[in-house]
Amino acid sequence: MRKKHLLALVVVAFAALALAQTYPLQITKLETKDLQGNVKTSFKRGEVVIVETTISWAPTYYYYYAAASLSYLEIITMWYGYTMTGLALTRTSIGPGETKTFGGGMQIRMTDPMGTYRIEVYVWNGFPSEVGPKCPKWTPLAEKAITTISVGG
Amino acid sequence: MKARYALLGLLLLAAAVLAQPTITVTPSTVSAGGTVEIKISGVDAEKCGIEIVDPAGAKAFVKEITLSNGQGVVTWDVPLAARLGAYTVYVSCTTSGAATAKFTVTALVGGEAHKDLAPLLMTMLSALAALLAAALIVRRLGGKLT
């Protein structure tokens, strides 16, 4: 194989990796519950919304041999329109083949508006303010997950 | 041939070092309760993480978006109870790198000040009506007496 063919192969491989945007982790479950642990999506003002997520790592051979565990930052946000009404986060690590569950509670204040709230979950290697443009570069580690709840009076 | 590869490598390295998303925050000064718009220009359909940190260092806003044709917009409704002062916007994207910007949140002031004249007018109208009624009564009673 000539050098230019090898170079072309390397370039194509990098381009494929960049375009594929595959993630090592998956958010396999996203549920909203009440304080008693019952799954529900309709809440009243004053109530606490428990958001429970499950993250799993089904490693490909690349990640399997690259690291024995993977550190990540999981962020749960709650939104009403363009206002972020709640934030919960955890920093932990996960091993190949493992699943991890994390739950965060967010209270809906009596003064909060009624309507549809959106819950978005992100899994990153760190906050943009912590990880720079280079080593370590900011990287999402899972496809974000979204669900909605309704809030009444 | 080696020189060409070296040049290509240097060009790729330079591109990686210089890569940076462009962010525009509008307006640069906003009152609590107002709205801030952050426009991001990056590369194709890359993912970007956006974080807004308040003057005390607390996370005020955290969001992940996917750019469309290298463009993305996020909007933040600044809460009325937001801390006043300088906020920092951190944007990190998977391909184009990272950038920061600042904006300022000021107190909600102003509004149109005017005196509510309705109570005064209502009092004067009531007094006028009472005077007219009294004058009418006096006139009728006066006519009967004479």
DSSP letters spanning B54-115: -TTS-EEEEEEEE-BTTEEEEEEE--TTPPPEEEEEEEEETTTEEEEEEEEEE---------
Would you list the domain boundaries of chain B?
A: 19-106, 116-146
Could you tell me if residue A4 is inside a domain? no
pLDDT computed for residue A17 by the predictor: 45
Could you tell me if residue A144 is inside a domain? yes
| Cα separation, B21 vs A120, whole angstroms | 24
Q: Which domain holds residue A133?
A: 23-152
pLDDT computed for residue A13 by the predictor: 45
Q: Which amino acid is at A26?
A: Q
pLDDT computed for residue B64 by the predictor: 98
pLDDT computed for residue B109 by the predictor: 76
CB-closest option in A84, A124, A137 to B61: A84
**Contact between A71 and A131 (Cβ < 8 Å):** no
Q: Record the tokens describing residue A126, joined without a space.
A: 């760190």
The reply to whether residue B92 touches residue A131, judged by beta carbons under 8 angstroms, is yes
Could you tell me if residue A70 is inside a domain? yes
pLDDT computed for residue B118 by the predictor: 78
Q: For position A32, which CATH number holds?
A: 2.70.50.60
DSSP E strands, A12-111? 25-33, 42-44, 48-57, 70-80, 83-94, 99-107
Which positions in chain B have a beta carbon within 8 angstroms of at least one beta carbon in chain A? 1, 5, 19-20, 35, 47, 49-51, 53, 59-64, 75-77, 79, 88, 90-95, 97-98
> How many whole angstroms from its chain centre is CA B95?
29
Distance between A69 CA and the closest CA of chain B, angstroms: 22
pLDDT computed for residue B17 by the predictor: 47
- Per residue in B126-140, pLDDT (tens digit) is 899 999 999 988 888
Could you tell me if residue A135 is inside a domain? yes
For chain A, how many structural domains are there in total? 1
Q: Which amino acid is at B27?
A: P
Could you tell me if residue A3 is inside a domain? no
B86-110: string of b/e by CB count within 10 Å (b at 16+)?
Answer: ebbbbbbbbbbbbbebebebeeeee
Could you tell me if residue A131 is inside a domain? yes
The reply to whether residue A83 touches residue B1, judged by beta carbons under 8 angstroms, is no
Could you tell me if residue A2 is inside a domain? no
CB-closest option in A83, A84, A140 to B64: A140
pLDDT computed for residue B139 by the predictor: 85
CB-closest option in B1, B51, B76 to A127: B51
Yes or no: domain B19-106 corresponds to CATH 2.60.40.1930: yes
- Per residue in A39-90, pLDDT (tens digit) is 999 999 999 999 999 999 987 655 555 668 899 999 999 999 999 999 999 9
Say which residues have a Cβ less than 8 Å from residue B39's Cβ, sequence separation at least 6. Answer: B23, B24, B26, B71, B72, B73
For chain B (length 146 residues), average pLDDT per consecutive 10?
60 54 96 96 95 96 97 96 96 94 90 67 89 88 66
- Per residue in B10-20, pLDDT (tens digit) is 555 455 445 67
Could you tell me if residue A137 is inside a domain? yes
Average pLDDT for chain B: 86
- Per residue in A91-134, pLDDT (tens digit) is 999 998 999 999 999 999 999 999 999 999 999 999 999 986 56
List Cα–Cα distances, A89 to A13, A52, A121, B49, in angstroms. 35, 12, 9, 15
- CB contacts of B53 in chain A (<8 Å) are 129
